[in-house]
Structure 1
Amino acid sequence: MSVMYLGQLVPLIIMAIALGMDAFSVGLGMGLQLLRLKRIFFIGITVGLFHIIMPFIGIVLGNFISTKLEDIAVLAGGLLLFTLGIHMVLQTFQAERKSPMKPIGIGLFLFAISVSLDSFSVGLSLGMSGVKTFIALLLFGGFSMALTWAGLLLGKRARGLLGVYSEMCGGIILCAFGLRIIFG
């Protein structure tokens, strides 16, 4: 494997984990509900698909923007990641966290959209940086699906002990990647 390929793959894996942390933390809370394994499987697949669709749309828009604005686009992408990370960290300090919605029908759609919105922003910034789209999408979808399953299954047992900390960790990682893009 070439060094250049590894140099792109490792940060993408770390970013995929950071993006999946949101789904993991929300899954912990949702796992407190009585969910069958079949429903947990379907929720994970749905979240994984949304973590492929949303960054794909972001990457396509980011590619378009970057061809038009070049240097400004790279700076904007880094700022977007950093801002998203700060937002995730600040959300962990909210006094009251809402109880999760039912993961059926429109509730499942809203859940999948809410935990994948940050991947749209990340996709937008990655599209501006010219990353390998197919690999990024597979990593984002796979890790978010696996972390959703882990959160739902652990939530059945753990009563939400890790939720706040996992979201904060994901936010810090996104901030770090945003700063890396901005400062090179």
Structure 2
Amino acid sequence: MTIEHIISELLPLCIMAFALGLDAFSVSLGMGMITLKLRQIFYIGITIGTFHIIMPFIGMILGRFLSEQFGSIATIIGSILLMGLGFHIVYTSMSHDDEHRNVPAGASLLLFAFSVSMDSFSVGLSLGIYGARTFVTILIFGVVSMMLTWFGLLIGRKAHSILGTYGEVLGGVILVGFGIKLLFSV
């Protein structure tokens, strides 16, 4: 396996992980405006990273099953799901007002992590149909989203006014782009 092959395989996954993590990053920016202890920041990042591993894993398993059963039709469906998810992220990020968010803890942290990782389930579904490497993909998704969450929480006070909604919009646009690329690779 050459270095060019490794880069051509990992670069799209890293970009996609970054796009998915921007949702958690944007939400974390708003949450970072609340005074948080380092311990809370640590747990929030770990929880979101874990959900960004679990959700695409479930999606990839289901995507592989659908791909085996339905072939190229499943690939087309996966690309449409990815584009739809991207458009949905752009729409919701532009239509909702920024509101004061409370620091999630316990069950509310799990629900919060689940909600910001739902998009990674759909991406995992699409990648499972496409046949991406499971372990590498979910590891990249989890680590990138965890790091972006921590980064967002730590710089929230200063960066929220700059990136807020734009981070989510950029993430949605990137997902639409990957959906289009996947659709034309059929």
Normalising TM by the smaller chain, what interval? over 0.9
Cα contact 1:101–1:111 (8 A) shared by 2? no
Amino acid at match of 1:55: P
Q: Deviations over 1:120-179 (max 9, x none)?
A: 000000000011111101100000000000111111333443111110100000000000
Please show how residues 35-184 of structure 1 align to structure 2 within 5 Å: 35-184=36-185
> How big is the shift at 1:103?
1.5
Cα contact 1:29–1:160 (8 A) shared by 2? no
Normalised to the residue count of structure 1, the TM-score between the two structures is 0.95
Of 105-114 and 140-149, the range deviating more from structure 2: 105-114
5+ residue gaps, structure 2: none
Cα contact 1:101–1:107 (8 A) shared by 2? no
Q: Deviations over 1:91-135 (max 9, x none)?
A: 222152333233111221121011100000000000000111111
Cα contact 1:18–1:174 (8 A) shared by 2? yes
Cα contact 2:46–2:146 (8 A) shared by 1? yes
What is the distance in 1 between the residues matched to 2:119 and 2:125? 10
Amino acid at match of 2:88: H
Cα contact 2:94–2:169 (8 A) shared by 1? no
Amino acid at match of 1:62: G
Partner SS state of residue 94, structure 2: coil
5+ residue gaps, structure 1: none
Cα contact 1:48–1:141 (8 A) shared by 2? yes
Query: Which residue pairs with 2:23 in the alignment?
Result: 22
Which structure 1 residue ranges, 4+ long, deviate > 6 Å from structure 2? none
Normalised to the residue count of structure 2, the TM-score between the two structures is 0.94
Percent identical across equivalent pairs? 52
**How many equivalent residue pairs?**
184
Of 90-99 and 43-52, the range deviating more from structure 2: 90-99
Amino acid at match of 2:90: V
> How big is the shift at 1:4?
2.9
What is the distance in 2 between the residues matched to 1:105 and 1:151? 20
What is the distance in 1 between the residues matched to 2:172 and 2:163? 14
Partner SS state of residue 175, structure 2: helix
Cα contact 2:21–2:141 (8 A) shared by 1? yes
> How big is the shift at 1:41?
0.8
Amino acid at match of 2:109: L
